[in-house]
Amino acid sequence: MSNRFVHLHNHSEYSLLDGANRIGGMIKRASELEMEAIALTDHGVMFGAMNFYWEAKKKGVKPIIGMEAYVDPNGHRERKGRNQYHLLLLAKDLEGYRNLSKLATIAALDGFYNKPRVDHGLLRQYSKGLIATTTCLGSEVNKALMDNDYNKARGIAELYVDIFGADNYYVELMDHGLAEQIQVNPMLRQIAKELKLPTIITNDAHYGTREDANPHDILLCIQTGKQFDDPNRMRFEGPEFYLKTQEEMERIFPNDLEALERTLELAGRCNVELDKQRAPMPQPEVPEGKTSAEYLRHLCEVGLETRRKPTDEARDRLNYELDVIGKCGFEF
């Protein structure tokens, strides 16, 4: 594969009634575009992560597991207002994947209020192994920029640098031809320059090709319960939220080729290998001088003596069970 750009901000059918990308189709599209990796970053959930991971592996495309989280700066248990700012998160490694899973779980169980939400404290607690970005127009940083409050936006970026570390926080640039993006992109570049942060280019893909824009629009109608011809309904402006080719992205960002190529560099930092991991087992307190297997046998033999008459049949059964446990590596 010769492509020097990969899509790092994408929504599947698991961004319910918002994403129109089928996971299989999304990975097939990435393969057709000769992109060696692709990310899954559904809104607030990780429902599609396993299907995405194995399907990508099968097709020879590197899977990057992520999530576009909803953040309430006032606290994930707050039930006033509708603060649900967007934050793109990508797992670098197995610890990051576990922390991402933890955040998704807490958001659903404790933080659900209109949307599954986390807060700055949770992000700080579960930041290890994660990469974050300034995200889309729905983020804290971009909302402040749209309000013409540059100092607030920079302060929020500094907060996230403190949470994730300067090496793990990227300034994300998009251009779908929206007036708001034209407004904020120069200021995002300025934040990146002042804070010495790397920039990346994404396209916030909600569907596969330009031709899928109309079906996606109908999906939004279903989500919001609105008629297609309602002039006041929610809609995406323009048919640009799809998995574009590298050439298309280069035409949109001719002066940001380094930021385009940095997506491939970032993808190289994300190495979650689920198939090489066994389920973590609890670590027992083993007396000094004994192995786990020896101590387990000792406990079983004591139990056999105290619970029943230790017949030859019972001993044979115990030996058989311990042999199976040992072969499976479950004595640890």
| C-beta separation of 209 from 239 below 8 A | no
User: For the segment 271-285, what is each residue's pLDDT rounded down to a tens digit?
Assistant: 999 876 555 566 778
Query: What pLDDT does 73 receive?
Result: 96
pLDDT, residue 220, reads 79
Residue 320 scores a pLDDT above 90 = yes
Summarised one tens digit per residue, pLDDT across range 88-139 is: 999 999 999 999 999 999 999 999 999 999 999 999 999 999 999 999 999 9
- pLDDT per residue as tens digits for the range 16-39: 877 888 999 999 999 999 999 999
Q: Which residues pair with 207 in a beta bridge?
A: 242
Q: How far apart are alpha carbons 290 and 207 in whole angstroms?
A: 58
Phi/psi of residue 161, each to 5°? -60, -40
Q: How far apart, in whole angstroms, are the C-alpha atoms of residue 215 and residue 217?
A: 5
Can you give the three-state secondary structure of the chain, one letter per residue?
CCCCCCCCCECECCCCCCCCECHHHHHHHHHHCCCCEEEECCECCCCCHHHHHHHHHHHCCEEEEEEEEEECCCCCCCCCCCCCEEEEEEECCHHHHHHHHHHHHHHHHCCEECEEEECHHHHHHCCCCEEEECCCCCCHHHHHHHCCCHHHHHHHHHHHHHHHCHHHEEEEECCCCCHHHHHHHHHHHHHHHHHCCCEEECCCECECCHHHHHHHHHHHHHHHCCCCCCCCCCCCCCCCCECCCHHHHHHHCCCCHHHHHHHHHHHHHCCCCHHHCCCCCCCCCCCCCCCHHHHHHHHHHHHHHHHCCCCHHHHHHHHHHHHHHHHHCCCC
- Segment 183-216, tens digit of pLDDT: 999 999 999 999 999 999 999 999 988 887 887 8
pLDDT at 246 over 70: yes
Q: What is the pLDDT of residue 66?
A: 98
CB-based burial, 118-144: b 16+ in 10 Å, e otherwise: bbbebbeebbebbbbbbbbbebbbbbb
Lowest mean pLDDT among 154-158, 248-252, 320-324: 320-324
Strands 37-40 and 62-71: parallel
pLDDT band, very low/low/confident/very high, at 1 (cuts 50, 70, 90): very low
Mean pLDDT for 44-70 is 96
